[in-house]
Each structure stands twice: as structure tokens, then as C-alpha cells.
Amino acid sequence: MSSVGEKRFGKLYKKRIWPSVCVLVFFAVACVATFAVFLYLFVMCIMGTKIVGHYEDAQQVSGILSALMDGGDTVEEAAAEMHDYILGDQDICVLDRDRKIVFLSGDSEPNFDIKLKFNVGRELTAVADSKNFLSANEGLRSIQAIPVREIMSRVLHPMEQGETRAQWMDAMVVRQDYWLKVPFGDNTYVLYVKCSLQAQRQDIVYVYLFGFGVMALLMIPVVLLFINTIRTALTQRKMSSLIYLDTVTGGRNWLYFQNYAHRILSRIRNNKKAFALVNLHLERYQNYRACYGVKAGDELLEAMSGFLSARVGKHESFARYEGADFGLLLRCEGENEQEYQENCRRRVRSLLAELTGLRPNQKIHFHAGIDLLPPYVDEEGKWYHRRQETDVEQIYTYANAARLESDGVEEQRITFFDHDMLGRQKWERWVEDNMERALQNGEFQVYLQPKYSPASGKLVGAEALVRWVSLSTGLITPSHFIPIFERTGFVTQLDDYMISRVAKLQAEWMIQGRKMIPISVNVSRAHFAQEGLAEHICELVDAYGPNHELIELEVTESAFFDDKEILVETVKQLKAYGFRVSMDDFGAGYSSLNSLKDIPLDVLKLDGEFFQGDEDGARRGEIVVREAIRLARDLDMCVVAEGIEKKEQVDFLARQGCDMIQGFYYARPMPVEDFEKKVEEDA
């Protein structure tokens, strides 16, 4: 995925429901607080009105007391008179200037330890009643002091028989006595008037109704917000399940895998653990779809996904990458690298074996590439740094590269990635990137390796071998790039180039009057699959005009296992044009004598391998060489032995009647100028 796309998905992934939940909680708390404040204010409003009424009554009492004292009564007399003749059963308490009680009526008294302050437009002071007060210690300052249950049971008490609804509503459900303080006589004396703050059933009902009303109003936005939060959460969940859905397997997709694998790998505590990123590949999947149908192909992938989800454990993950490629992140048990690898290999092997059994009647097989991630420590040996830079896609690419490198005949192949592999692949990339430019720049040079006649000891031929003289890398031998060229098909262009160069060289030698030496040129097997190759080579050579007989075309023996009909046809045509054709590397790899029977070749090039090995091997090789030379002679073929490095080999070949020898014993491949000098020296 592009980095922009990655960022966008990353944002989406990070967008969580928490902000909405926080807003909801905050709003709900704010509503409860508002509700409490409103309720408090409402209650205070009802209470305040009552307290103000009490205070006004108490003021009147203090006024009368002052008037009586002005009339000559002592404070005690005035209070007694007041109580006996005016107040009836309302209790008062009078304190003198020393704050000593000079008069007290009733069976309770003020509790001066509990002071109360009422702010009802003005500040009023009161004290608790010693008997009828909710809490002797706390007073009204603590909400817990209010016996809510008791009040509620009284409020909900059913109507008694004979009681009217108005009476029931007026019934008192809670009463609170307190003493209101009113200074009098120029603030010399203090009068405390016992008041009773009563709440009737209707007061409580009003408070409840008001409370419910406010609550209902405040709850509407809270409920709406709640619904919205839930909807957002559901939508997000649905969206993420869609974004992370693999539509083919119905499981999680690659994007999810990348995110999740990155999270697992970058967790600090996972640094101590080894992981393996596996590229699991179902071989010949397209062929499977073609034979059994697209639907069956998809079902197979779905079955694979179902199987893997049952086998992949906690803190592991998997997803389909594309086609029939799956990526797996597995934990590896063990103490050291070797154990990690062994355990991982065992586990992957058993996974592959089980996967193979998914379709009992159909042959399916898998290959796996693995990049092992050992426990992570930074350069200073500290493990607590996160694998922050972990690029899951990149690691997967390594696992994939490992799988592509795997070869062998095993049906289930498992290959571990190593950095040499990366080096090889980087090299291949470099070659592919530079080969065309190098051909245009003339970086490919013809080197010639002489062929000698063992009988005369004279230089009688040469093989043209390419060398890539790169401006940046220096001299590169064919084994480093020919296999890559063969894979990409570029080798045909190189072969054309070499044939042209050799033809040009022959033409120049002819013009310069030099000794004409036949030169063989390698033609890749890819070339031989092309139709009209003989005409094509003919055109290339004729562009410079040398004699066709001076040019020999070498075809590796392995090419003879390809389409034999085309090959035989091409060889016949080349021969008809006058070119010589040789079978290169006879004896290297698998040989088939049949090829010699079917194809009318001119030259047999015996591979150097015949002469290698231990003493016994070399002796047996000599027997084969002797017989091969005899066979070639009987078939009217000329024999060239290549890779000859020792005098004994030369002597042996000379005895056997080998026509030519090419090898380091005589000379290594050399630039054209050196070769020309050698020819002159040899003459």
C-alpha cells in the first residue's frame, strides 16, 4: 500500500469510540449535577419561605418583649408574661446580657452546640433543638442525616378511612424543630423562638414532581447522546470489519495482518521472543481454478483460511496476501537460532502436510518461505527497545524471496531467508537493470579461448566466450549473468551480438590477411526454440561476409531434451548453410546417447567433468572418454575435450585420438588482441 493510503488507514484505525464515550460521561455527570443544584434550589425555596415566615413571627415576639421591658418589666417578667398570655404553647428562650438563660419554656431547649445559618435574603441564625432534631452531631449540614426512607414511607402512607384527599395532602410527613435567634433590647438580650419546620406531603410531592420534570428534561440530550455513541460504535465496528475483510476467504485481510503483526512485533515484551513470518504459497493455483472452476478455487482458499485460523494461536496472525499466497506470523519456541529454526520448520511442515489433506481427492501442494525474527536486541545489547522499525511488508517480501529461491523435488518445500539470498536477488536486479544499456555501450567483450590439436600441438580453433567489462563493477564472468539472461530471454540478444562480433572479426582477419581460425560461438537453448534461427544466424554472419565454415555453433547438451523436432530441423538447416554445429558440455549432467543418434552434429565437446574426481573416478572417466571418442569417430564427428588442465590428460587424449583440446593447460580465454598475438607466435 502507498504511504498515503497507509496513513489514511492508520487514521481510521486509530479513530476510537473513547472520545464519544468521554463526552457522554461528562454530559451525564453535568446533568446529574444540574439536577442536584435545581432540586436543592427548589427545596431551599420552599424551606426559605417557611423560615422567613417564622422569623417574622419571632421578630414580632421580640418587639412585644422590648415593649414590655420598656413598660418597666424585667426581662424575666416580660418573657414569662409573653409566654403565659401571648404565645400560648410556643416556646421561647431568653438570654441575658451575660448570655445566661433567664427564661426557658417547654420541655426541650436550644442546643447551642449546633449552630445553623440560613441565607434567605438576609442571614438568619438559629440553633438546633435538643430533642427534635435530625442529627444531634451533624444537623442539616449532612445530607445523610435526612431519614429519606422514613420520610418516603410516610409520604407513601395510604389514605386512612375517612381522610379526604386534601387532608391527606396536607398531612405532615417530616418535622424539624429549631430555635431562631432574634436579638432585642438594643442587642443586649437574645431571644430564641422555637420554630417547627414542617414538610407536608404535598411539599414532598412537589419536590418529586419538580425533580422528575428536571430529570426528564436533562435526560433527553443524554439519551440522544447515548444512542449516537452506540450508533457510532456500531458503525465503526462495521466499517472496520469491512475494511479488514478479505472478500475471498471471509477472514481478515492483509491490511489487518500488517497492522496486527506490527503491533505484536513492536510490543516491548515480545522483544524477548522469536517470530517467523511465513509466506505460504499454494502451487499451481491458477491451474486448479482452470480445472475445477473459479468457485472451487475460492472455496479452497476459504478452507485454507478456516484451517489456518484454527491453527494460529494467540499473539499470532495470518491473512491472505494475494492469489493463493498467505502470510503467517508465528511464534517460535527455542533457546537459540538453530532451535527456533528447527521448531519453526517442524511446525510449518506439519501445517503444510495438513493443508495438503484439505482436498483428499485432489493433488495440492504448498511451498513456504520463512524469515525468522530472532529475539530483538539493539546494537548495545538492550532488548527493551521496541522493534519499532518493523516493516511487516518488507519482512514478508523476504519470506517470499526465500520461497522463490527454493528448489528441489520435494513436494512441500520450506526455505529460510538469509541475507546471501538477498545479495543474489539484488545482483539479479542489478543485472536486469543494466544488461540492455551494457549491450548498447559495448560492455560485452569477446574473449577467445584457443583449441589445440594434441597431435600437432598447433592452435587450430577457438571458442568465443563473453566477458562483461562493466564500468562500475569491473570484469564479470558469464556464470554470474548468463543464467539470469537465460531466464529473462535476453541471452538471445547476447548470442546475436556475439555471433555478429565473431563474424566481424573473421571478416577483419580475412581482410588483414591473417591466418583464419575457426571460432565456435555458444548459442543458448532458448535460442534454439525459435523458428527460423538458421536464417537469422545466416543473416547476422552474412552482414560481414566471412566463410560460414569458419563459424561453429555450440549448443549445450541439455538443449537436446527440449523440442527435438525443431532442434533437428535447425541443426540440419545450419549445416545446409555451411555452419558447423557442436554439442557442448557432453557428459555434464544427464546425457542421452539418443541425441547423438537423432541429430547430425559435427563436433562433440566432452565436458571437463570426465577428468575430475578421485583416482577411481578419473580412471572410470577415462574409460567413458575413450568410448565416447570412439563413438564420435564412428558417427563422423570431431571430438573436442574441454576443461583440460593437466599434461597427463593431454597425453591420454592424444593417445585416444581426440581432435582438439581446449583448456587452461594450453591457454585461458583471452582478449582478441592477445589471441591474435598467440596465433602469430604459433605460426
Instruction: Write out the residues near Mg ion by the rule CB under 5 A.
Output: 522, 554, 584-585
* CA–CA distance, 241 with 403 (Å, rounded to integer): 31
Q: Nearer Cβ to ligand C2E, position 391 or 645?
A: 645
76 binds ligand C2E (CB under 6 A): no
Closest distance between ligand C2E and the C-beta of residue 492, in Å? 9
- What is residue 510's three-state secondary structure? helix
Q: Nearer Cβ to ligand C2E, position 329 or 494?
A: 494
CA nearest neighbour of 541 among 479, 582, 495, 589: 495
663 binds ligand C2E (CB under 6 A): yes
CA 292 to chain centre: 33
φ/ψ of 627, rounded to 5, equals -70, -35
One-letter amino acid identity for 291? C
487 binds ligand C2E (CB under 6 A): no
Q: Nearer Cβ to ligand C2E, position 199 or 541?
A: 541
C-alpha cell at 68: 414590655
Exactly one of 255, 546, 643, 679 binds ligand C2E (CB under 6 A); which one?
A: 643
Closest distance between ligand C2E and the C-beta of residue 525, in Å? 9
Exactly one of 91, 177, 203, 495 binds ligand C2E (CB under 6 A); which one?
A: 495
Closest distance between ligand C2E and the C-beta of residue 591, in Å? 15
Contact partner, 465, from Mg ion, ligand C2E, none, Cβ < 5-8 Å per class: ligand C2E
Of the ranges 8-16, 145-153, 408-416, 641-649, which one interacts with ligand C2E (CB under 6 A)? 641-649
* CA–CA distance, 502 with 496 (Å, rounded to integer): 10
478 binds ligand C2E (CB under 6 A): yes
Exactly one of 341, 390, 449, 506 binds ligand C2E (CB under 6 A); which one?
A: 449
Closest distance between ligand C2E and the C-beta of residue 601, in Å? 15
Please give the C-alpha separations between residue 548 and each of 203, 451, 660, in angstroms, as whole numbers. Answer: 125, 19, 20
Contact partner, 129, from Mg ion, ligand C2E, none, Cβ < 5-8 Å per class: none
Q: Which residues have a Cβ under 8 Å from the Cβ of 315 and sit 6 or more positions away?
A: 264, 270, 331
Q: Nearer Cβ to ligand C2E, position 251 or 663?
A: 663
CA nearest neighbour of 316 among 304, 303, 332, 302: 332
Whether 550 contacts 572, CB under 8 Å: no
Closest distance between ligand C2E and the C-beta of residue 526, in Å? 9
- Hey, which residues between 404 and 433 contact ligand C2E (CB under 6 A)? none
- Hey, which residues between 513 and 532 contact ligand C2E (CB under 6 A)? 522, 524
C-alpha cell at 219: 435526560
* CA–CA distance, 100 with 120 (Å, rounded to integer): 28
SS (HEC) of 180-206 = EEEEECCCCEEEEEEEEEEEEHHHHHH
466 binds ligand C2E (CB under 6 A): yes
* CA–CA distance, 414 with 407 (Å, rounded to integer): 9
Exactly one of 300, 604, 644, 661 binds ligand C2E (CB under 6 A); which one?
A: 644
Whether 504 contacts 514, CB under 8 Å: no
How many residues bind to ligand C2E according to rule CB under 6 A? 25
Whether 448 contacts 463, CB under 8 Å: yes
Q: What length does the chain have?
A: 683
Please give the C-alpha separations between residue 460 and each of 275, 498, 515, 552, 556, in angstroms, as whole numbers. Answer: 62, 20, 10, 13, 22
645 binds ligand C2E (CB under 6 A): yes
Closest distance between ligand C2E and the C-beta of residue 439, in Å? 12
Residues forming the site for ligand C2E (CB under 6 A): 449, 465-466, 477-479, 482, 491, 494-495, 498, 522, 524, 554, 584-585, 608, 642-645, 662-664, 669
